[in-house]
Amino acid sequence: MSKLDISILYVEDDNIIREFVARMLKKKVAQIITAINGLDGIEKYKKFTPDLVLTDIKMEEMGGLDMIAKLKKDFPDLKFIVVSAYDQTDYFLKAIELDVKGFILKPINRKRLFQVLDEQANLILSEQKISQKEAEKQQAQQALEKSEKKYRHFVERIEEGIVSFDTEFNFTFANKAACQIFGFGKNSFPKFNLFNFLDNKKQEKELANFQLNPGSNELEITIKNMRQEKRIITLRLRDLIDNEKLVGSFGIINDITEKKHLEEEIARIQKLDSLGVMAGGLAHDFNNILTAILSNIDFAKINIENHEKAKKILQEATNATIRAQKLTEQLLTFAKGGKPLKKTIDIKKLIKESTEFILRGSNLKPVYDIDPELKPVNVDEGQLNQALNNIIINANHAMPAGGVLQIKAENYRVTEADFLPIKNGDYIRIDIKDKGPGISKNIINRIFDPFFTTKPKGSGLGLSTAFSIIKNHNGYIDVRSYPDEGTTFSIYLPVSQQKAEKEKDASTKQFTGNAQKILLMDDEKIILDIAKEMLEYLNFQVETATDGEEAIKKYKKALDEEPFEVVIMDLTVPGGMGGKEAINKLKEIDPKVTAIVSSGYSMDPVMANYKEFGFKGVLAKPFKIEDIMRVLNQIFNENEEA
């Protein structure tokens, strides 16, 4: 793409949009100057006198049109293009009065922006080549035609649809943009009536009522254009009066289809965020209860090894508790702020293992197309495995009679052309395609909503959880579905710049307690009691504390006598000092303190990045005796190696 030999001043108060558009323009034009508002724009224009001004309308301190009006007093030949999300008639008319050269609506369409720049650059460069004498002669000639041509030129190039109708809503005029929206040719609009494009009978009544009540000057309707595409448009009309007689109407049409889709996406994310607050609190309390239940049951099993019947009953209780634990994990997964425990991996093995685990025993056959050069990703293996499981379960339910499930994974570069709500860059894309009946149009926008399900016994959390997991990994899930053709879920995950971590040797030296001293802190007495019994059973000496302040006092006192080798602390203590605050105090007392953080609330970043906060290990609630053994085994093995 060759650069245009022109300079542009771009005025925009939104930092993100300004930087994004400026990057695009740097590739297109010789020089780009930016300003943050109208006042800044005036200073920059006077300093650099660029060939063209690209400006937003509404900005703090001074808007774009006010800036142009002030500049035109000193620079009457100033050329400018308006870029804005605001499409009110007042702005439209004022821009015409100021001799606007183009009008581009947000979100900015790159193709449209470059098309307008090409047109203006050709005009600017042509003018620069004309001698001053010839330019003066040409201006005198153009002045005679300016009044008529200026408005027609603008109307034909504006991105909004400009239309006029007779009193029966037959088209009498449609500019280029309106023709594109409705799908008819530039000269064929007189053959059509607006009622012919309406999507249903209800909208015919709305349009008729709109016609009878000129005070209601905006209507949102859905049309089906000549290409049989459904488009959502807004229609704003003004009466056309000739000799005090109503002869029709004229107005502006905006295609808001993409805007509506974006609003639906934002609404879905907001719904997940609000439910996340509830999920986090519920899971936190629930996990505390489960810890007490699971720990007692697990410990009871150890002490009644010869009572097979009781042991069997307790095992069933253990299984039920673990199922409840899985539910809280799903709730926490889509809770706002839940932090994945990430590491860089080669995802090929995980994709196959997740698929084959879910499809084991089913009559569904997976067919893989996985790029052997698939790049590594930085993910929480457990969470990503859960997301894949939920989508594959959905595909399995969609094909009860069996068939082929296609799994494709490839390296993929996301660009503006993909129109995805994620940053441009390198991703891996995983396509999971079933051959089921497809998802009907009336529910496809709801499938990621929490608790929405079409299954009689479904929880409605599967796809919601998958959506949130991928979102928390800075990725995205897209879905495409067609009746009788099946459904394809596409997962986008950012590529990691690091190399995949090698799997560690599973064999580790088992550690059993040797009367080492452990300080245990938790505000829940029932958890404190059972955890203490477990640790004593494992041959540790245990002292307890109910909050961080008590733990600090006991730790400090023990330093002068027999120090604690490990401290296990609950992350949060309602109304008191939790482990998050206490670890900093302990490190001041003893920089070498060995501490383990414990919580049923995984939303806090401490649980995901415990080492950054000074902890040596993490113990998630609810836990069993083998979980305690595992984390202590890890701690003491690391201490031995050190």
For 535-568, what is each residue's pLDDT tens digit? Answer: 998 899 999 999 999 999 999 999 988 999 999 9
pLDDT for 88: 66
Q: Work out the pLDDT band at 40, boundaries 50, 70, 90.
A: very high
Q: Which is more confident, 19 or 155? A: 19
Greatest mean pLDDT among 111-120, 141-150, 213-222, 400-409 lies in 400-409
Task: Measure the CA–CA gap between 134 and 157, rounded to whole angstroms.
Answer: 27
The pLDDT score that the predictor gives to residue 34 is 95
Look at residue 526 and tell me whether its pLDDT is greater than 70. yes
For residue 173, the SS3 value is: strand
- Please check the confidence at residue 136 and state whether its pLDDT lies above 70: no
Give the helix, strand, coil percentages of the chain, each rounded to 5: 45, 25, 30
Closest CA relative to residue 218, chosen from 246, 180, 249, 195: 249
What's the angle, vertex CA 58, arms to CA 53 and CA 62, rounded to 5? 75
Residue 1 identity? M
> What average pLDDT score do residues 308-336 get?
62
Please compute the mean of the pLDDT values over residues 46-73 and round it to a whole number: 91
- Regarding predicted confidence, which is higher, 526 or 79? 79
Per-residue HEC secondary structure of 195-230 comes to HHHECCHHHHHHHHHHHHCCCCCEEEEEEECCCCCE
CA-CA distance, 237 to 246, in Å (whole number)? 13
Q: 50 or 455: whose pLDDT is higher?
A: 50
Q: What is the mean pLDDT of the chain?
A: 80
Instruction: Please determine, for residue 519, whether its predicted confidence score (pLDDT) is greater than 50.
Output: yes
Q: What angle do CA 152, 192, 224 make, to 5 degrees?
A: 100
pLDDT of residue 340: 64
Residue 264: band (very low, low, confident or very high) from pLDDT cuts 50, 70, 90: low
At 357-379, the pLDDT tens digits run 778 777 888 999 999 999 999 98
Calculate mean pLDDT across residues 203-220. 66
Looking at residue 320, its pLDDT comes to 62
pLDDT at position 524 is 86
Give CA angle at 634 (630, 635), nearest 5°: 120
The maximal CA–CA distance of the chain, rounded, in angstroms, is: 111
* Among the ranges given (48-57, 258-267, 373-382), the one the predictor scored with the smallest mean pLDDT: 258-267
Span 221-246, average pLDDT: 83
- Give per-residue pLDDT as tens, 482-517: 887 889 999 999 999 888 766 544 333 445 567 889
- Is the pLDDT score of 207 beyond 80? no
The first and second tokens of residue 315, run together, are 């095992």
DSSP state of 610: G
**Which percentage of the chain shows pLDDT scores above 90?**
25
pLDDT at 162 over 80: yes
8 Å CB contact between 505 and 566: no
Give the predicted TM-score (pTM) of the model. 0.42
- pLDDT interval class at 216 (50, 70, 90): very low
Residue 185 burial (C-beta neighbours within 10 Å; 0-12, 13-18, 19+): exposed
pLDDT in tens, 270-292: 555 545 555 565 566 667 667 76
The stretch 195-212 carries a mean pLDDT of 73
Does residue 419 register a pLDDT over 70?
Answer: yes
Q: Where do we find the tokens 């009466």?
A: 239
Residue 159 binned pLDDT confidence (cut-offs 50, 70, 90) = confident
From 327, 318, 272, select the one nearest 297 (Cα to Cα): 318
pLDDT of residue 453: 64
